[in-house]
Amino acid sequence: MSYTTDSTLRSPKGCLAMFGVYSFTGAAILASIIFSLLLFLSIDSDPWMQFLFGSLAVIFELGKFFAWYEVGERQAHKNYSGAAIAFAFYIVLAAISIGGSIGGINSATNSAQSHVQIQQNRVSSYNMQIEAIEKQIALNNVAAEKYIELELISTGLARIQRENSTLREKQQTLAVERDNLPAVKQGSVVGLIESLANSLNVTPQNAQLGLVIFLSVLLDFFAAFFVGLIGEEQRFKYRFNKHKSQGSEVEPDTQNPEVERLAIREELKSGLEQKPEQIKSIYDQAFDALESEKISCSKKAVKNYLKIEPEEVDIIFKQLLQQGLVIKKANHHYQWQGTAAVIEEVAA
C-alpha cells in the first residue's frame, strides 16, 4: 500500500473506518459474483448444471480475492517467489472473472435495450400501416381524376370517395392507438451507450462493448484494492499490538532530539540496569546482543536473532542512530559504537 506502515506515525483504523472498508469490499465482491453468475447460469438450462456452473463462478470469484490477499501476505514476509506464484494464480482467476463479468453486464445491458427496441418496433409498425393507408388514398385520388375525365362522376367517383372516407377513419384510429402507447423510457445505461457512440463516432455495439469491459475491469480492481487494504491493515494492527504489548515506545519525529539524547546519556552515566526479572523490550534485547557482540551490527542479523518484522528492525536502528550507538557508513552498512563511545563523547 502507498500509505505509511510506521506505528510511530499513525494508529490502526477505527471501527467506523473498517466498517466502511468491509462494506465496500463485500459490495464489490457480491457485485462481481452476481455478474459472473449471469453468464455461468445461462450456459445450460438444466437446474443441476446451473447449480454446478453457479458454484464454479462463486469459487472462481472467492478464490481470486483470496489469491490477491495471499500476494500481500507473502510480499510482506519478503517471500517474493511465493508472491509471484500467487500473483500468477490471481491473474488467471481474474481473467476468468472479468470475462464472466463482461458477459453478465453485457447480458443485463442487452435486456435493457430490448425493452426499448420492442416499444420502438410497435411504433414503427403503426407508422407503416398509416403510411400504407396514405398511399392507398393517393392511388384512389388518381383513379378519381380518371373518372372525372371520363365523366363517370356518379358511378366511380362516389365509390372512391366512400372508400377514402373509410381509409381516413382507419388511419385516424391507428394514429390514436399509436399515440396512446406508453412512452418509451430509455434507461440511463442505454442513454450512456448512445452518447458514447455519438461522441466517439462508433457504432452502439462497439460503444456498449467498450463500456462493459471498462466497468468489469474497474469493478475487479476496486474489489482487489479493498481486499489488499484489509490485509495491510490487519498486518499493521498485529505489529502495532505487538509493540504495545512489549512496551516498545518509539518517540515521534517531532520531539526535540537533543532532549532525548541528553536523557539517554544521563541514563548511561548513572549505570542503571534493568532488573533481571523484568521482561525486556525488543529494543533492549537488540541492544544487549549488539553490545555483547553476540550478533553482527546489521539489520538482517537483528531480524534473525529476534525473529521480528523488517519494519520493527528499521525502528530499532533508527533509535540507535538517534542515540549515537551506531553509525551509518558510506556503503549504507552500520557500525556499532556502543555505550563506551557515547560516554566518552559526553565526557568530552
* pLDDT for residue 114: 67
**Cα 55 to Cα 73: distance, rounded to the nearest angstrom:** 27
Full pLDDT tens readout for the chain, 348 residues: 445 555 555 677 778 888 888 888 888 888 888 878 877 777 777 888 888 888 888 888 888 888 888 888 888 888 888 889 988 988 888 888 888 777 777 776 776 666 666 777 777 887 888 888 888 888 877 777 776 666 655 566 677 778 878 888 888 888 887 777 665 555 566 677 777 778 888 887 788 778 888 888 888 888 888 888 888 888 888 777 777 776 544 444 444 555 555 555 555 455 434 444 334 678 888 888 888 888 888 888 888 888 888 888 888 888 888 888 888 887 778 888 777 666 666 555
* pLDDT for residue 256: 53
**The three grid cell numbers given for residue 206, joined into one nine-digit string:** 462497439
336 - beta bridge partners?
326
The residue ranges of every structural domain in the chain are 1-246, 252-347
334 - beta bridge partners?
328
Q: DSSP labels for 113-134?
A: HHHHHHHHHHHHHHHHHHHHHH
Burial string for 14-32 (b: 16+ CB within 10 Å, else e) reads eeeebeebeeebeebbebb
* pLDDT for residue 319: 86
**Cα 209 to Cα 205: distance, rounded to the nearest angstrom:** 6
328 - beta bridge partners?
334
**Cα 225 to Cα 314: distance, rounded to the nearest angstrom:** 26
**Cα 157 to Cα 140: distance, rounded to the nearest angstrom:** 9
Structural class in CATH, domain 252-347: mainly alpha
* pLDDT for residue 277: 37
* pLDDT for residue 258: 53
